[in-house]
Structure 1
Amino acid sequence: MFKRFINLQWKSFFRSSSFGKGLALKIVMIFFGIYMIGALVFVGGFLYEILRKAFPDQAPMWMLSRYLIYWILIELFFRYFLQKLPVMDIKPLLSFPIKKSTITHYILARSGVSGYNLLAFFFFMPFGIVLLFNGYPVLNVVLWLVSILAIVLCVNYINFLINKSDKALVVIGSIILALYGLDYFQIVPVKDFFGPIFHGLYQHPIAVLVPVALAILAYFLNYKLLKNKLFLDASLKTKSKEAKTSDLTWTKRFGDMGTFLQLDLKMIWRNKRTKAQVFISLLFVFYGLIFYTQEVYANMIPMFAFLGIFMTGIFLSNFGQFIPAWDSGYYSMMMAQNIPLRKYLESKATLISVSVAVMFLLTVPYVYFGWEALAINFGSAVYNLGVNIPVILFFGSFNKKRIDLDKSPFGNMQGTSSTQFLIMLPVLGLPILIFTVLYYLISIEAAVITLSLLGIIGFALKNYLLDKITEQYRKKKYGMIAGFKEKNS
């Protein structure tokens, strides 16, 4: 039965509407994955020597054991955001004589061989091999590696248990900060407390039974929870929501575009994920304090270009990269109506433009750290307005993955594809490269003026660029509609 499930998943992958358009991007992501694996193998292979030279008076295995508690908590924290339970089209299977236990075991087994688990394997395995070459007992090292893999699986299945709870994320983050703070200020010797526990997995091979037992327990807790939810009518229960109203009549001043602006503002305010983008953008205004207040970055002027593009364009990136997937729930209905697509895209551009202007105004106080900061932020804002807005709208035409706005913003990777990663190259990498080259070849003034001029040229070509982008959306129209209908995309 597992073989049939794998065959179904394989066909679903190749028959997906997003497969053909992203073939080149998938190849790029494969090469990126190979690079990541190579980097992990390299670091894992040299970790023994790194620890030996950094701590000549301590055994490398002991030093690694002292920090494993942070690795577990940090991995669990980031998996909350990045990892999700492998999905299949389960409902059609429930109408066939297939045991729920078989479906559940398959889903959980798939998650056990996910890329996140393999990353830890490629890191710790080379370290274990180096230990063997340095005369460490074979039995101890092999069972220690088994313990590490069991811990990885335990983290994998615990993540599925807590992934729907935002409170769990706060608890994990608080524990990490609390342990680090207690250790850093020498209030409680955290590493000295947990070090012997994890080092015992190497010293006492029989201790491998503990992480293995915990991994099995986490597996069966997931099994029981998931199996109890495999019913055809599990999603038939109606949800009640509190209606919210707001006065947005002022948007009518924008004419035909005002209707779209009003819908966008209502969508942002009424849904968790879009509302989170606004709050995250406002929080990142303080991101500059990390760099402007550190002397080590005082002479790294190109870093200020990164800050300028990033801070003034944070909403542009977070919100803009998922256009028009935000409207995926009713995009097919919109395309069936006599709705001017040009006005639709222009309203998105206007909304993002306002966000860039607001974010720039919020960064003005950074002039306290020098006029260069203000000038770079201004040039970056103009560049974002004139160049990056058309770029992000153009890349939006490649979005074919649905977004359910009702889902929690934490750990929600719906709508994310390789496009979202590649789009950062022209949006973030290109202006920084331009600024850096001109700064070192000519001056900071030339770099700021060039970014501003590119933004102004983008303004001058606004109508032409929007017309071209509109044509691109019309070409991709039916592919986007088909993609947005795939609820597990």
Structure 2
Amino acid sequence: MNLFLELRKHGKLAEKRNPMYEKSKFGKFWMYFMAVFWAGYLIFFGTTFAFAFDGGATEAYHVMNSGLIFVLALDFIMRFPFQKTPTQEVKPYLLLPVKRNRLIDFLLIRSGLSGFNFIWLFLFVPFAIITITKFYGIIGVLTYCIGIWLLIIFNNYWFLLCRTLIGERLWWVALPLVVYGGIAAALFIPDNSPVFDLFINLGEGFITGNLLAFIGVIAAIALIWFINRTMMRGLIYNELNKVEDTKVKHVSEYKFLDRYGEVGEYMRLELKLLLRNKVCKNSLRTVILVVVAFSLVLSFTEVYDGTGMKNFIVIYNFVIFGILFLSSLMSYEGNYIDGLMSRKESIYNLLRAKYTVYSIAILVPFILMIPAIATGKLALLTCISWAVFSVGCIYFFLFQLAVFNNKTVDLNAKMSSRQNVGTGLQNLIAGAAFGVPLILNYILTTVIGQETTSWILLAIGAGFILTSNLWLKNVYLRFMKRRYKNMEGFRDSRQ
């Protein structure tokens, strides 16, 4: 216990001494604000479900328990954009007489006690107070909520296992697909699925304080804990010893970019950055998986047939690539910024290359939503307008971060590096890049209709695209005015 408390103290001191500490305060405030917002949202739904499920032939908590598997699946998907694998600087501690397993245990404990694992209690606590108290009293509510929390803890470690494996090898995406595909088949193919009864009985066991229910969940947590610890031990060893550095199977030159001169060279650099470095590859894989999942659900199911959810998915699919990579604009280049600054106007050509690459990347979500267009769930004009608006207007605001970002993001260290925390400006602009279009679309659609809104968004986006050389030049000139301050920040934040 003393070791865990000491490592936690070291982590807090390292965060405070980081040169980006002051800039991340607003970002933390913004995250706390959003956490409070979603907590209120879940309390509302928990109360609504309690009254909506009451009065039927089955008790309300039995109805909720039968859907626990859907809550766990939704929790798993939600973790992809919001939760990263636990990281801590373990390299210095490996020089001390401290067992590596104890260091990894600290990482796993910190992940299990993360505030993200408590957020679903805001849904289940009010629901339990309304529906369970009248039969089992406060003790029933308490044991039920403890059981739900243990299930979320298990889901946390299950997600950690899948996320880490997918980050290492893309084909591991088959693991969650097979698991959830098998669960879906077990749920919907039989007429009376035993899976629903299993979760109803598990929830009943939590309410009544059945020791077997708690022991079963705790045993499952212990098993997946052991699997995670074994896997992370090997990955940390490989990363610290650079085991993979000698395994180069294929070198892509992208010779077709030679015709574009220096801009083509930087486009080649950007592609290699995205496809060769661990952090970038992991982020790229994650966002593609989420976009593919949303697109398939929208195209081939009726789950998100509501107008609000359709608009949410369309906007999310188009802006997520930009938010994920452009909110850290120049931060990856902080690893080698000195070389970039040695050539005249190289930063300007780099910005042009980045804009070209991520503009072309917008075709990925557009292609993935073609089935939804073909089935009539989305209008072709709507998709085109949001694609153009994202490349034009949203990218314009995201590119302004190139002027102010001065924190280096490590390209390869995932398990042994300090977790990167975005600055307040990054979080503000990234949040606005997603939230403002949603609000704008809602207002315009309500006032003037969907078709006219699409034409307006198309015109706005086209205007920014046609003037892209002008505002990219402006970003470059402002960056050059701050270049010494930015370079100092990049150097100070290198690991």
TM-score band by shorter chain is: 0.7 to 0.9
8 Å contact kept, 1:325–1:415: no
Provide the rounded CA distance (Å) in 2 between the counterparts of 1:231 and 1:81. 27
8 Å contact kept, 1:322–1:415: no
Counterpart in 1 of 2:118? 118
Aligned pair in 2 of structure 1 residues 86, 168: CA closer, same or farther (>3 Å)?
Answer: same
Secondary structure of the residue aligned to 1:427 is helix
Deviates more, 1:177-186 or 1:158-167: 158-167
Provide the rounded CA distance (Å) in 2 between the counterparts of 1:232 and 1:357. 36
Provide the rounded CA distance (Å) in 2 between the counterparts of 1:61 and 1:377. 41
Q: How far does the alpha carbon of each residue in 1:3-50 deviate from its partner, in whole angstroms, 9 at most, with x for none? A: 433332222222223322232232122111122223334434554333
Aligned pair in 2 of structure 1 residues 383, 188: CA closer, same or farther (>3 Å)?
Answer: same
TM-superposed deviation, 1:125: 3.4
Deviates more, 1:359-368 or 1:476-485: 359-368
Counterpart in 2 of 1:394? 400
Counterpart in 1 of 2:288? 280
Structure 1 residue corresponding to 2:19, chosen from 17, 20, 26: 17
Secondary structure of the residue aligned to 1:200 is helix
Counterpart in 2 of 1:64? 64
Aligned pair in 2 of structure 1 residues 213, 438: CA closer, same or farther (>3 Å)?
Answer: closer
8 Å contact kept, 2:402–2:475: no
Provide the rounded CA distance (Å) in 1 between the counterparts of 2:365 and 2:9. 49
Matched, 1:174 2:149: no
Secondary structure of the residue aligned to 2:20 is helix
Two-structure CA RMSD over aligned residues (Å): 4.5
Structure 2 residue corresponding to 1:373, chosen from 368, 373, 379: 379
Deviates more, 1:254-263 or 1:276-285: 276-285
Higher relative contact order (CA 8 A, sep 6+): 2
| Unpaired segments ≥5 residues, structure 2 | none
Counterpart in 2 of 1:30? 32
Provide the rounded CA distance (Å) in 1 between the counterparts of 2:173 and 2:231. 20
Matched, 1:251 2:257: yes
Provide the rounded CA distance (Å) in 2 between the counterparts of 1:303 and 1:158. 27
Write out aligned runs for 1:226-237 (5 A): 235-237=241-243
Secondary structure of the residue aligned to 2:245 is coil
Aligned pair in 2 of structure 1 residues 396, 59: CA closer, same or farther (>3 Å)?
Answer: farther
Secondary structure of the residue aligned to 1:404 is coil
Percent of aligned pairs with the same amino acid:
21
TM-score by length of 1: 0.77
Aligned pair in 2 of structure 1 residues 175, 229: CA closer, same or farther (>3 Å)?
Answer: closer
Write out aligned runs for 1:187-198 (5 A): 187=191, 189=193, 190-198=195-203
8 Å contact kept, 1:144–1:201: yes
Write out aligned runs for 1:48-197 (5 A): 48-53=50-55, 56-76=56-76, 78-79=78-79, 82-98=82-98, 103-131=103-131, 133-166=133-166, 169-187=173-191, 189=193, 190-197=195-202
TM-superposed deviation, 1:263: 2.0
Provide the rounded CA distance (Å) in 2 between the counterparts of 1:275 and 1:203. 43
Q: How far does the alpha carbon of each residue in 1:205-255 deviate from its partner, in whole angstroms, 9 at most, with x for none? A: 333333344445555665677678887995254532234344534423323
Pair member with larger Rg: 1
Provide the rounded CA distance (Å) in 2 between the counterparts of 1:419 and 1:343. 24
Provide the rounded CA distance (Å) in 2 between the counterparts of 1:158 and 1:362. 28
Structure 1 residue corresponding to 2:357, chosen from 351, 360, 368: 351
| Unpaired segments ≥5 residues, structure 1 | none
TM-superposed deviation, 1:415: 7.7
8 Å contact kept, 1:308–1:381: no
Name the aligned partner's letter for residue 65 of structure 1.
N
Q: How many residues align?
A: 477
